Structure 1
Amino acid sequence: MHDFESRKRKKPIDRKTALLKAADYCAYQERSQQEVRDKLYSYGLHHDEVEETISELITDGYINEERFAKAYAGGKFRIKGWGRRKIIQGLKQHRISEYCIKKGMLEIDPDDYFETLIKHLEKKKPLIKSDSMYILKGKLTQHVMAKGFEMDLIQEAIKHVLSKED
């Protein structure tokens, strides 16, 4: 086990090499400053070197928090069907500013958002085995809240989905 740990810890690389590696890392897909910062620390760089490298990457356009927020929000909504609350929580974990979070959230079309919520409910509804309307509503609510949707929209969407039966 000790031998494995010593092989895992590589010799720190110089800042110039780290900058090139980080530029490739950012070019592959949008990255937050925090992701790149963590990667640079994993290369064995010290605080000042990391911050200097981050600064260069921002200047050269490899890192852009607003662009990252838009890509993250749009992708998590379109591909994973996440709600706004879950997306915002994810962006905050990446230490994205409130301004960039707001910009990112503009990527989500309100009509598509409500339609996605309806689709989640319609997909889940037949899987719930209960004769009680109270339990059905509760389980549907719980399901889409876990996906990050807001309570006021959930109630409206559940009414919409359940009214289709009549």
Structure 2
Amino acid sequence: MEKKSYTFEEIKQKLVNYCVYQDRCHAEVEQKMREFLLIDEAKEEIILYLLKENYLNEERFTRSYIRGKFYIKHWGKTKIKMNLKQKQISERLINSCFDEIDDSDYENTIRKIFEGYYSKQNGLKEYQKKSKTIKYLMSKGFEYEKIIDIFE
């Protein structure tokens, strides 16, 4: 199949639209650029343009990612951090953006998920229900220490 060829300006506009539609990180933009045959200088020029015009902002991306994954998907910090690292976001930036999650919201979410899951475990001994529920919360990315703190 013949690839449609675009001018530099058309490609630049497509990448602007890609960033406007939803916050993106560098890795996602670079991945998107691979769809177009661009020389390195052109890629660099587009990245610089997106940064300069604030279409691409790694901190804003990280903050909105953290909010979405916690408040909408109810992921814990461990899972959020792991996924952001896969997007090549630095640990330092990730940690500085975790203030997007309110501590009491975090604890309440753990408590709510715990109670919801725990109450559905039928026909099991107490300790089995508890350990299954802890495993479940850890799979959602919540830290073992935090889970234990809430239920001691």
Q: TM-score normalized by structure 2?
A: 0.93
Q: Note if 1:29 corresponds to 2:31.
A: no
Q: Note if 1:125 corresponds to 2:118.
A: yes
Q: Aligned-pair RMSD on alpha carbons?
A: 1.4
Q: Note if 1:49 corresponds to 2:42.
A: yes
Shift of 1:111: 0.6
Stretch of structure 1 that moved more, 121-130 or 62-71: 121-130
Computing the radius of gyration from Cα coordinates, the structure with the larger value is 1
Q: How many residues align?
A: 152
Which among 45, 53, 64 is matched to residue 60 of structure 1?
53
Q: Note if 1:87 corresponds to 2:111.
A: no
Q: Is the 8 A contact 2:76 2:141 kept in 1?
A: yes
Q: Is the 8 A contact 1:14 1:45 kept in 2?
A: no
Higher relative contact order (CA 8 A, sep 6+): 2
Structure 2: state its 5+ residue gaps.
none
Q: Distance in 2 between matches of 1:142 and 1:66?
A: 31
Q: Distance in 1 between matches of 2:125 and 2:40?
A: 58
Q: Note if 1:139 corresponds to 2:127.
A: no
2:8 maps to: 15
Structure 1: state its 5+ residue gaps.
1-5, 160-166
1:97 maps to: 90
Q: Distance in 1 between matches of 2:123 and 2:114?
A: 15
Stretch of structure 1 that moved more, 93-102 or 21-30: 93-102
Q: Is the 8 A contact 2:77 2:142 kept in 1?
A: yes
Percent identity over the alignment is 37
Which among 137, 146, 150 is matched to residue 153 of structure 1?
146
Equivalent residue of 1:96, what SS?
A: coil
AA partner of residue 151 (structure 1): Y
AA partner of residue 68 (structure 2): G
Q: TM-score normalized by structure 1?
A: 0.85
Q: Is the 8 A contact 1:70 1:103 kept in 2?
A: no
Q: Is the 8 A contact 1:26 1:62 kept in 2?
A: yes
Cα-to-partner distance string for 1:17-57 (whole Å, 9 max, x where unaligned) = 11111111111111111111111111222333222211110
